[in-house]
A and B are shown apart, each in its own frame.
Chain A
Amino acid sequence: MDSALLIHRIHFAFTATFHYLFPQLTMGLALLIVVLKTIGLRRNDPIYHQAARFWAKIFGINFVLGVVTGIPLEFQFGTNWSHFSRYAGGVIGQTLAMEGMFAFFLESALVGLFLFGEKRLSPKGHWWTAVAVFAGSWLSGYFIVATDAFMQHPVGYYTDADGNLQLASFWAFLLNRWAGWQYAHTMCGAVTTGAFVMTAVGAFYMLSGKFLEHARVFIKIGVITGCLFSVLQIVPTGDRQGKLVTDLQPVTLAAMEGLFQGQEGAPLVIVGQPNEEQGKIDNPIVVPKMLSMLTYRRWNANVRGLDAFPRQDWPGNIPLLYYSYHIMVGLGTFFIAIMALSGLLLWSGKLYSARWMMWILLLSAPFPYIANTAGWMTAELGRQPWVVYGLMRTADGYSKFVSAGNGMFTLLGFMGMYMVLGILGLFLVWREIEHGPDSDQLVELNAAEAV
Chain B
Amino acid sequence: MASVWFWIVAVMIAAYAVLDGFDLGAGAIYLIAAKTNDERRRVLRAIGPVWDGNEVWLLTAGGTLYFAFPRIYASSFSGFYLPLMIVLWLLILRGIGIEFRAHIDNTVWQDFFDVVFSVSSILLAVFFGAALGNVIRGVPLDSTGYFFEPLWVSFKLEERIGILDWYTALTGVMALVTLAAHGSYYIGLKTDEDLGRRARGLALLCWPVQFFLTFMTLVSTYFVRPEIMDNYRQHKAGLLIPAVVVVCLGIMLWANPKGKEKLAFAASSLYITFMLVGAAFATYPVMLPARDHRYDLTIYNSAAGAHGLSVGLVWWIFAAVLAVGYFVFMYWMFRGKVQLEGGH
Chain A residues in contact with chain B, CB under 8 A? Answer: 61, 64-65, 67-69, 71-72, 74-75, 77-80, 82-83, 85-94, 96-102, 104-106, 108-113, 116-117, 120, 158, 160, 164, 166-168, 170, 399-403, 406, 410, 413-414, 417, 421, 424, 428, 431, 445-451
Contacts and interface: CB of A to CB of B under 8 A. Distances in A.
B56 interface: yes
Contacts of A88: 70
Contact of A109 (B147, B308, B327, B344): B327
A104 B77 contact: no
A57 to B, nearest CB: 9
B89 to A, nearest CB: 6
Contact of B103 (A75, A116, A168, A428): A428
A352 to B, nearest CB: 31
Nearest to B307: A167
Interface of B: 41-42, 44-45, 48-50, 52-53, 55-56, 59-60, 62-64, 66-68, 70-71, 73-82, 84-85, 88-89, 91-93, 95-96, 98-104, 144-148, 304-305, 307-308, 311-312, 315-316, 319-320, 322-323, 326-327, 329-330, 333-334, 341-342, 344
A82 B307 contact: no
A241 to B, nearest CB: 27
B88 A166 contact: no
A431 B106 CA distance: 14
Contacts of A65: 96
* Contact residues of B: prevailing secondary structure: helix
B77 A450 contact: no
A77 B74 CA distance: 8
8 contacts: A80-B81, A93-B63, A105-B327, A108-B52, A113-B330, A166-B308, A450-B100, A451-B45
Contact of A74 (B50, B62, B342): B62
Contacts of B41: 449
A112 to B, nearest CB: 4
A93 B66 contact: yes
B96 A64 contact: yes
Nearest to A117: B333
B77 A82 contact: yes
Contacts of B329: 109
Nearest to B88: A72
- Which of B88, B102, B312 counts the most chain A CB atoms within 10 A? B88
A117 B50 CA distance: 13
Contacts of A424: 96, 100
Contacts of B342: 445-446
Contacts of B82: 406, 410
Contacts of B44: 449-450
A112 B51 CA distance: 10
Nearest to B47: A451
Nearest to B75: A82
Nearest to A71: B91
Contacts of B334: 112
Nearest to B99: A64
B187 to A, nearest CB: 14
A78 B66 contact: yes
A117 B45 CA distance: 13
A94 B312 contact: yes
A417 B333 contact: no
A82 to B, nearest CB: 4
A68 B323 CA distance: 20
What 8 A-B pairs have minimum CB-CB distances, sorted nearest first?
A: A78-B77, A93-B67, A89-B70, A166-B305, A450-B102, A97-B63, A451-B48, A82-B78
A413 B96 CA distance: 17
Contacts of A105: 53, 56, 60, 319, 322-323, 326-327
Contacts of A72: 88, 92
A78 B146 contact: no
Contacts of A414: 89
- Which of B44, B49, B147 counts the most chain A CB atoms within 10 A? B49
A79 B146 contact: no
B307 A98 contact: no
B148 A448 contact: no
A87 B145 CA distance: 13
B95 A67 contact: yes
